[in-house]
Copies of this chain bind each other. A is one copy, B any other.
Amino acid sequence: MKKYYLITPGPTPVPPTVAAQSALPVLHHRTHEFGKLFEQVMEGLRTVFQTKRDVMLITGSGTGAMESAVANLLSPGDKAIVASCGAFGNRWEKICVAFGAKVVMLKEEWGQAVDPGKVRQALKENPDAKAVFFTHTETSAGTVNDVKAIAAVVAETAAVSVVDAISGLAGQELRMDDWKLDVVVSGSQKGLMTAPGLAFAAVSEKGWKLVESSKNARFYNDYRLIKKSIPNKETPWTPAVSLVASLHEAIRALMEEGMENVWKRHLRLAKACRAGMQALNLKLLSAAPCSVLTSAHLPESVSGEKLVDWLRDEHGVSIAGGQEHLKGKIVRLAHMGYMDHFDLTIGLTALEWGLVKFGHKVDAGKAVKTAQETFLAG
């Protein structure tokens, strides 16, 4: 007997009631029944994004939504600023380059947040920049960016702000309209508690001006086509209807809880996780830790790759290791979406077990004890 535990930053566990919707008979996407589901999903997504704008639904991975933002906003040769503090910020650069943009790259060390002052400076030096791309919660490092401050800096210029909120949406506070964000993209498989395969994009009025003038090639994810079909309660192409049915149930649950409570719930778990990992004498990687994932340095003697593999293969517990230059050097525990205090307990227990297995001394139970104390203190 082996039970499986998903403590990773996406895909994340899906509530049984949400998963069950995907097993019901497939609805045709041009029926009143589907239209009703779709309309309610659209309405819920506006609350999740904290926007009055339409949220466009894409069948694809989160990276597809990121690409769609670049394809719809820029034209070949346009200048773009990418402000990155990890692997997912760097992905913006790769996509912009693939679409022929000239990229001004601002890179922070992994574990540091993007500095809004540097964004301001870059915009001053590059007044022709069309857009500033950055990340909400950078899960490669466990960092939350000051999205509000960055967006405010961009809002003073002619450029648009574009944020990848794939891992952060419905986990960490984000207010598209109040914070004057121009484009927010996300995916279904994190805070939205649905299986992967759906992605989203919302665009401000300022953003739409770029969409209308963009000369990049686009068809499948042409925002103009997607937006036009929303009043008809449909998508231009056959969407992943079974995932939309799941999402509908997930959004119902989120609406019942309320976004403020959702954000608070994640923050409380994050605080407990940080305390638990620190109790094992692991140093947190991020100076600005996010609410959806906690990352910490491993002792030099411990191979993170071996630890992650062993927990996954021997014990059925999937936690995340480090990426790129941090491969093998850090561990990352996710606490996003359908993960609660008991999942965190499993993650921390597994981490202790892994550390012991690979020769690092720990006081057995100390991580869980500390997390429990922190959690109960509120």
- The chain A residues found within 8 Å of chain B, CB to CB, are 4, 6, 8, 10-14, 16, 19-20, 22-29, 31-33, 59-64, 66-67, 70-71, 76, 94-95, 98-100, 187, 189, 195-197, 216-220, 222, 236-243, 312-313, 318
Instruction: Using known A-B contacts A98-B217, A219-B67, A219-B98, determine if residue A26 contacts B14 with beta carbons closer than 8 Å.
Output: yes
Q: Are A59 and B196 in contact, CB atoms less than 8 angstroms apart?
A: yes
Give chain B residues whose Cβ lies under 8 Å from the Cβ of A312.
31-32
Give chain B residues whose Cβ lies under 8 Å from the Cβ of A31.
312, 318
Q: Are A32 and B313 in contact, CB atoms less than 8 angstroms apart?
A: yes
Instruction: Using known A-B contacts A64-B59, A222-B98, A318-B31, determine if residue A196 contacts B22 with beta carbons closer than 8 Å.
Output: no
In the complex, what distance in Å separates the CA atom of A152 from the CA atom of B4? 50
In the complex, what distance in Å separates the CA atom of A313 from the CA atom of B62? 35
> How would you classify the secondary structure of chain A's contact residues: helix, strand, loop or mixed?
loop
Q: Are B318 and A61 in contact, CB atoms less than 8 angstroms apart?
A: no
Pick from B4, B22, B94: contact of A23, CB below 8 A.
Answer: B22
Q: Are A22 and B195 in contact, CB atoms less than 8 angstroms apart?
A: yes
Instruction: Using known A-B contacts A23-B19, A217-B217, A240-B243, determine if residue A318 contacts B28 with beta carbons closer than 8 Å.
Output: yes
The 8 closest A-B pairs by CB, nearest first: A197-B240, A23-B23, A195-B242, A61-B237, A98-B219, A63-B237, A22-B22, A67-B220
Give chain B residues whose Cβ lies under 8 Å from the Cβ of A10.
238
In the complex, what distance in Å separates the CA atom of A71 from the CA atom of B216? 12
Pick from B67, B189, B242: contact of A197, CB below 8 A.
Answer: B242
Nearest chain B CB to A51's CB is how many angstroms away? 24
Give chain B residues whose Cβ lies under 8 Å from the Cβ of A76.
217
In the complex, what distance in Å separates the CA atom of A276 from the CA atom of B292? 58
Give chain B residues whose Cβ lies under 8 Å from the Cβ of A33.
4
Nearest chain B CB to A371's CB is how many angstroms away? 23
In the complex, what distance in Å separates the CA atom of A222 from the CA atom of B94? 12
Pick from B61, B70, B100: contact of A239, CB below 8 A.
Answer: B61
Q: Which chain B residue lies CB-closest to A98?
A: B219
Q: Are B220 and A61 in contact, CB atoms less than 8 angstroms apart?
A: yes
Q: Are A11 and B23 in contact, CB atoms less than 8 angstroms apart?
A: no
Q: Which chain B residue lies CB-closest to A242?
A: B195
Instruction: Using known A-B contacts A61-B237, A94-B219, A217-B98, determine if residue A11 contacts B32 with beta carbons closer than 8 Å.
Output: no
Give chain B residues whose Cβ lies under 8 Å from the Cβ of A6.
25-26, 28
Q: Are A26 and B219 in contact, CB atoms less than 8 angstroms apart?
A: no
Give chain B residues whose Cβ lies under 8 Å from the Cβ of A196.
26, 29, 59, 238-242
Instruction: Using known A-B contacts A59-B60, A218-B98, A220-B61, determine if residue A25 contacts B19 with beta carbons closer than 8 Å.
Output: yes
